[in-house]
């Protein structure tokens, strides 16, 4: 099973930069998007063979997630079921026969960590949500989680320490999530690889210089590790300040 996750930083803009060409070439079973920045009625997306699910923010032009799948889910839910977190269109959960797939766009702590308190509360609520799902069947989590977990996950760790996405608090929450029974699939396969990033600032030719951050993930319940065939960062794909990431899962034995 081939799954793709991509923060498109505005789907309408990404459509003008080759999104549909990539989508067709990728030929994935499921594609999850973050930061769609639209309401479903604002776009007509022709994706033959795929069911489409959208979770848009109440605020127009902001946040939002989408999930396109060739495999019909058993059910699809939106948000965490907590009103304080469910107005920004950040989570879609699709239940399949063997696992839950959770598409997530984690809140940014913002400049000066202005939204760090909200982010910390979100992290605790989201981890509890994932652990509840995991008690029922394994979980595959994907999306822009807005944190570079370790120093090898960004180009300039020393100068970025304490900034949004690389604060000690955010990194500790990722450590806590992984310690709760989950595996970062890319680091599981490639524990020491450096220079592997999924987001680059539009400033200072960051992408040309590969001065990036790895903040887009596929994370799985530990008991799915044996089914992880590949976890890729598709850095050659343009169209956003993020690139897509891919997870290839073997069938359960």
Residues classed as catalytic: 105, 144, 242
In this structure, the strands spanning 51-55 and 2-7 are unpaired
> Is 144 marked as binding a ligand?
yes
Q: Can you tell me the distance from the alpha carbon of 234 to that of 29, in angstroms, rounded to the nearest whole number?
A: 16
> Is 241 marked as binding a ligand?
yes
As beta bridge partners, residue 53 has: 67
Three-class DSSP category at 236: coil
In our burial notation (b when 16+ CB lie closer than 10 A, e otherwise), range 183-220 reads bbbbbeeeeeeeebbbbbeeeeebbeeebbbbbbbbbb
Q: Can you tell me the distance from the alpha carbon of 230 to that of 249, in angstroms, rounded to the nearest whole number?
A: 7
Three-class DSSP category at 6: strand
> Is 205 marked as binding a ligand?
no
> Is 58 marked as binding a ligand?
no
Three-class DSSP category at 177: helix
Annotated binding-site members for Mg(2+): 7, 35, 144, 146, 241-242
Annotated binding-site members: 7, 35, 144, 146, 241-242
């Amino acid at each position: 099973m081939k799954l793709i996750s991509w923060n498109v930083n505005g789907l309408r803009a990404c459509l003008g930069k080759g999104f549909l060409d990539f989508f067709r070439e990728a030929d994935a079973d499921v594609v999850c998007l973050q930061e769609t920045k639209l309401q479903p009625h604002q776009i007509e997306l022709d994706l033959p063979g795929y069911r489409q699910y959208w979770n848009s923010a109440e605020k127009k032009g902001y946040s939002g997630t989408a999930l396109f799948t060739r495999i019909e889910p058993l059910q699809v839910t939106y948000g965490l079921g907590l009103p304080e977190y469910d107005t920004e269109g950040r989570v879609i959960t699709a239940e399949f026969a063997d696992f839950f797939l959770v598409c997530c766009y984690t809140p940014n702590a913002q400049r000066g960590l202005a939204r760090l308190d909200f982010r910390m509360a979100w992290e605790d609520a989201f981890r509890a949500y994932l652990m509840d799902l995991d008690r029922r069947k394994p979980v595959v989590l994907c999306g822009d989680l807005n944190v570079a977990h370790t120093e090898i996950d960004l180009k300039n760790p020393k100068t970025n320490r304490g900034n949004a996405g690389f604060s000690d608090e955010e990194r500790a929450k990722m450590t806590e999530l992984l310690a709760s029974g989950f595996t970062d699939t890319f680091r599981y396969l490639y524990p020491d690889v450096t220079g592997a990033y999924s987001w680059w600032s539009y400033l200072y030719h960051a992408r040309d210089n590969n001065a990036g951050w790895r903040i887009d993930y596929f994370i799985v319940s530990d008991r799915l590790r044996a089914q992880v065939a590949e976890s890729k960062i598709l850095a050659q794909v343009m169209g956003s300040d993020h690139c897509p990431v891919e997870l290839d899962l073997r069938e359960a034995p």
